[in-house]
Amino acid sequence: MRAVAKLAKKSARAETGMFLLEGPQAAGEVLTWRPELIVELYATPTALDRHTEIAQAAEDAGVDVEFVTEEVLDAMADTVTPQGFVAVVRQFPTSVKDIFAGAPRLVAVLEEVRDPGNAGTIVRAADSAGADAVVFAGRSVDLYNPKVVRSTTGSIFHLPIAVGAGLADVVARAHAAGMQVLAADVKGEDLLVARRENLLAAPTAWVFGNEARGLQDEDLEQADRVITVPVYGHAESMNLATAASVCLYESAFAQRS
């Protein structure tokens, strides 16, 4: 029980190569998409009775469910209300080399994105927009942080995600793969300019930076163009994950038109 609970800490995740999943939605996603990654799956009898589809999916995948009490489950979980399910899952990052070897057309790159909710939401947005992959560059939050995992709402299992690469290496590989690199930053050109120029129809790696500081000047210099999402109202700024969603969908629309 204590070993499972420790996975809420980055040091334990790094040491074991495993991470924590909580709740019926996450359990259902991993059973559907990547059941071979499950090391342990815990549930309360009440939760399994309530979610018969998860019980069936576990049986179909040959995954044993270990019954525990509510008190034991709460002690394992990172959240206050794990809703009856906790799983221990093997980490499964994809290499940056493999991502760009696959001739991708749309990739989201996170550089020093520190907020777990933003990071997870960008993964979810990339999945929704049909992106080929996501890259967490070296200074970003840990992909397997429980809050990041929860914020992806299962998208972590849907598309390749690389971790730990330096931005310069990512940019070089994107260029070698024939992709343009666009940096999303308030210092850039209006997104409508990129739309009018039909810039977004080309294979694109979007780079998204830190929530407070944006991208550093040296990061911006590595991009082919710098683009900003305009704010037409009175908001001081736009949430990073919201801006990333707009950029990714603009590319998705242009590439499919």
**Domains along the chain?**
2-90 (3.30.1330.30), 96-256 (3.40.1280.10)
**pLDDT of amino acid 239:** 93
pLDDT band of 139, cuts 50, 70, 90: confident
pLDDT band of 147, cuts 50, 70, 90: very high
Residue 78 phi, psi dihedral angles, 5° rounding: -85, -30
Kindly report the length of the chain.
257
Cα torsion angle, 79, 120, 184, 253, sign: negative
pLDDT band of 237, cuts 50, 70, 90: confident
**pLDDT of amino acid 173:** 97
Percentage of the chain beyond pLDDT 90 is: 89
